[in-house]
Structure 1
Amino acid sequence: MLTAPVRHILCLLAIAGMPLGAVAQLTGGERITLAASEPERVIEARLSGDQTAEYRVAAQQGQILSVDLNASRDSVYFNIKSADGGEFLFAGMMAGNVADVALPASGDYLVQVFLARAAARRDEQASYTLTIAVGEPRDAPTADANRGSAAPAKANRPDEMDGPRYWQVELDDATTRLNVRSGPGQQYAIAGQLANGETLENLGCRLSDADRWCHVRAADSGLRGWVAGRFLVEGSQPPASSPSKGKTELQGLNSSDHDFDATGTVDCVLEPGQPAQLCPFGVIRDGPGNAGIWIAMPPMPPGQDSKDSLHILFETGMVTAINNGGNGSADYIARKIGDHYQIDTGMRQFVIPEAVVYGQKAKANDDTVDEDAVDGDSIDDSAGDDQAANDTRGGD
């Protein structure tokens, strides 16, 4: 089930007219037939460029469609939608590589595997393993079904598998870091690492063999992935952050409708030859380099929201789409200059600090992990020893 922040960014980007993935060239749909004798199907395949692999699954209302993706590149995602062209039930770019979706009606559903737009433009290639299963609600890895996990737990860890709204990372050795993986198990790639004490939004937990794994979103960077549940304790909601200069309140945008990770102001030039001024913004992050930014155009009458706004989509640290309020997509030129982005669209120019896109803590720590060149120790996220000394890949 999608959480509130995920629903917000999906709905808002849809309103802004920003596609969630590459413009797809379908490779041809494949019918996946499941039965009691074959409750799941494992598919191994490859993608390149703007290709999209499509799999059609028939299921009944109330059943759980479970999909797990393990790919050779982080830029491979999948979506789930109804075959009649209805709404997306799961958007992998925002929600991760593991889905357990309660189906709203009987019929056919499409699982679409694709490369992110930036990777598709580079004509990247990737291999992937996709596992598709359909089960009854009692078979799904829900909180009630997973209570009483055999995974070790301290006294201050909740008994329920779903847990509290926020987690906090608790490591025995504060100098180590906790691996964040793209799926619930060590077979999935490391997507990043978390420091001791970091606050995480809880997106739900499930069992993988005998271990509890929790789907989380880092409060600062938006880094999303799976971590071993035994390194989590109950946390509290983090205070709102404001990474840029100027007034920190979000003027000109209705923050009650947006679950922003940070708000503030950025430098903007709205007419040629005019001095720079401050434009209020709000940002929703989805991991290092992935963010949606909403910028309001001053001046605004007191107490009113701006009717003129700009929506900017970043993927892997690059601007990939700009939408000019309700006027549709806009042409733009984006440059990376030092620690900020300079974006020209129409006659206007905006200067966005890198910390707005990445989050201050994420950029400082560089959460993008090179598994062969990581400084310091990381936590072994298996059921064995808690710490993997001098093994920067988590003791895998």
Structure 2
Amino acid sequence: MFSRIKNLVAAVLLLTAPTVALAQMDGHGPDAWQVTGVAPDDTLNARTGPGTDHLVIGAFPSDATGLQIVTCVPFLTRQKRSELTESQRANLPPRWCLVESPDHGIKGWVSARYLKEDTSAARPDMHPLVAEGVALVRRIYDRELSARSASAIGPLHPSVARRYFFPDGVARLAQGARGHPLEAHPLFGAQDADITQLQIFPAPERAMFRGMVSVHATFRNFGHPQQAVFRLRGDGSFDPPALRIMRIEHEGWAFP
């Protein structure tokens, strides 16, 4: 009974996480953000610095999703923010964040009031935890494919992998970076990849079972159909708990 209650509390905490960019991205916030509060026929200006007096160098569409926060000012960790008095919080300057689009085509400073957690992958008929699992798997593929085209750091790099994996997965990726190669690419199940027709969706049967979320990714690699099955659980080491990948299953092998 106690374990069932603990799991329920963890799920509630996960679903009630803050949805605005109020805290520095220190590993505990959402993995992606979307524009909010901008009229459909308008855009969100991206500037050279944190403030309206800085030059506009680009613009994000009003429905932009998958945005990555590089940093925010004023810099505050969750712990430090919790230590401030109500008066100190009220006197903080407006928060601005350096934001980048998924394809790295747009990058600039925007007001944090126009950002919220990316929930674009959610469907009304989908359990919120399953929707979060689908969104996380979609983000990891989007970042990997975008990084390949732009020669940027991908989601499997040990410096950012904790946003997606449990510590044992991060440790295995770090071993691979130090010269202990993986059997194959964890996302594609092969050493080389030319990916087309990528689809990500909840497992057709038991998308959520005893606290574990299952998500399928299907695609063609060099024209050959493949499938990866992601198993995710809430990671209680985060506050609030965050869904992370515990296992990726391919035909004949699994990561980690």
TM-score (norm 2): 0.33
Higher strand share: 1
Higher relative contact order (CA 8 A, sep 6+): 2
Of structures 1 and 2, the larger Rg is shown by: 1
Higher helix share: 2
TM-score (norm 1): 0.22
